[in-house]
Structure 1
Amino acid sequence: MLAIALILDAALGEPDWLWSRVTHPAVLLGRLVDWLDRTLNRGAARRIKGIAAAALLVAVGWGIGAAIAWVPDFGLLEIIGAAVLLAQRSLVDHVRDVADALRRSPAEARIAVARIVGRDTAEMDDAQIARAAIESGAENLSDGVIAPAFWFAVAGLPGMLAYKAVSTADSMIGYRTPRHEAFGWAAARLDDLLNWVPARLTAGLILLANGAIRHAHRVPNDARQHRSPNAGWPEAAIAPVLGVALAGPRSYDGEVREFPWVNPTGRRNAGAAEIEHACSALWRAWGAGLLLAILLALLGLA
Structure 2
Amino acid sequence: MTVLLAAFLDGLLREPPARLHPVVGIGRLLAGLERFWRDDARAGAAAWAAGAVVVTGLAAVLGRWTLTLEAPWRLAATALLLWPAFSLRMLLEEVAAVEAALARDLDEARTRLARLVSRDTGSLDETGVRMAALETLAENLSDSLVAPMFYFVLFGLPGAWLYRYANTADATWGYRTPRYARWGRFAARADDLLNLLPARLAACLLGGGRDLAALRREAARTPSPNAGWPMAALALALGVRLEKAGVYALNPSGRDPVAGDVRAGLARVRAAGLWWLGLSAPLAWGVWGL
TM-score normalised per structure 2: 0.92
For the 8 Å contact 2:202–2:230, the answer to whether it is kept is yes
Q: Report the Cα distance in structure 2 between the residues aligned to 1:131 and 1:221, rounded to whole angstroms.
A: 19
Question: Structure 1 residues 189, 286: closer, same or farther in 2, change over 3 A?
Answer: same
Q: Which residue of 2 aligns with 1:163?
A: 163
Identity %: 37
SS at match of 1:75: helix
Answering whether residue 265 of structure 2 is matched by residue 271 of structure 1, we say no
Aligned to 1:287, which of 274, 285, 288? 274
Contiguous gaps of at least 5 residues in structure 1: 250-257
**Distance in 2 between the 1:54 and 1:298 partners?**
31
The residue number in structure 1 matching 2:212 is: 216
Q: Which residue of 2 aligns with 1:253?
A: none
Letter in 2 for 1:217: A
Contact 2:150 2:280 (8 Å CA) reproduced: no
Distance in structure 1 (CA, Å) of the matches to 2:158 and 2:248:
38
Letter in 1 for 2:220: R
Q: 1:50·1:186 contact (CA, 8 Å) conserved in 2?
A: yes
| Aligned amino acid, residue 150 of structure 2 | F
Q: Any stretches of 5+ residues in structure 2 without a counterpart?
A: none
Distance of 2:197 and 2:81 partners within structure 1: 23
The answer on whether the counterparts of 2:138 and 2:230 sit within 8 Å (CA) in structure 1 is yes
Aligned match of 2:64? 70
Superposition pairs for residues 189-200 of structure 1, below 5 Å? 189-200=189-200
Distance 2:242 2:265 in 1: 12
SS in 2 for 1:261: strand
Instruction: Quote how far apart the aligned CAs of 1:288 are.
Output: 1.5
Please report the TM-score for the alignment, with normalisation by the length of structure 1.
0.88
1:25 deviation in Å? 0.8
- Name the structure 2 match of 1:240: 236
**Displacement of 1:221 after TM fit?**
1.3
CA distance in 1, matches of 2:274, 2:128: 28
Q: Assess if the C-alpha contact under 8 Å between 1:216 and 1:237 holds in 2.
A: no
- Structure 1 residue 36 displacement after superposition: 1.3
Q: Residue 153 of structure 2 contacts residue 284 of structure 2 at CA under 8 Å; is this kept in 1?
A: no
- Contact 2:38 2:44 survives alignment (8 Å): no
**Which of 250, 254, 270 does residue 262 from structure 1 map onto?**
250
> 1:215 & 1:63 partners in 2: Cα distance?
41
Using the alignment, how far apart are the partners of 2:88 and 2:255 within structure 1? 27
CA RMSD in angstroms, aligned pairs only = 1.7
Is 2:138 aligned against 1:138? yes
Q: Provide the rounded CA distance (Å) in 1 between the counterparts of 2:49 and 2:231.
A: 30
- The alpha carbon displacement at 1:131 in A equals 0.5
Contact preservation (8 Å) 2:203, 2:209: no
**Residue matched to 1:58:** 52
* Superposition map of 1:88-237 within 5 A: 88-207=88-207, 213-237=209-233
- CA offsets per residue over residues 81-129 of structure 1, 9 Å max, x none? 1112111100110000001001112121111111111111111100000
Per-residue CA deviations over 1:187-232 (Å, capped at 9, x if unaligned) read 110010011010011111111xxxx643333111111111111100
Cα distance change on mapping 1:158 and 1:299 into 2, 3 Å: closer
SS state at 1:123 partner: coil
* Separation in structure 1 between the aligned mates of residue 134 and residue 240 of structure 2, nearest angstrom: 10
**What is the CA–CA distance in structure 2 between the aligned matches of 1:290 and 1:233, rounded to whole Å?**
20
Cα distance in 2 for partners of 1:216, 1:8 equals 35
Q: CA deviation at 1:294?
A: 3.4
1:8 corresponds to 2:9: yes
Distance 1:299 1:165, change over 3 A: closer
Which among 14, 19, 25 is matched to residue 17 of structure 2?
19
Amino acid in structure 1 at the alignment position of 2:3: L
AA in 2 matched with 1:13: R
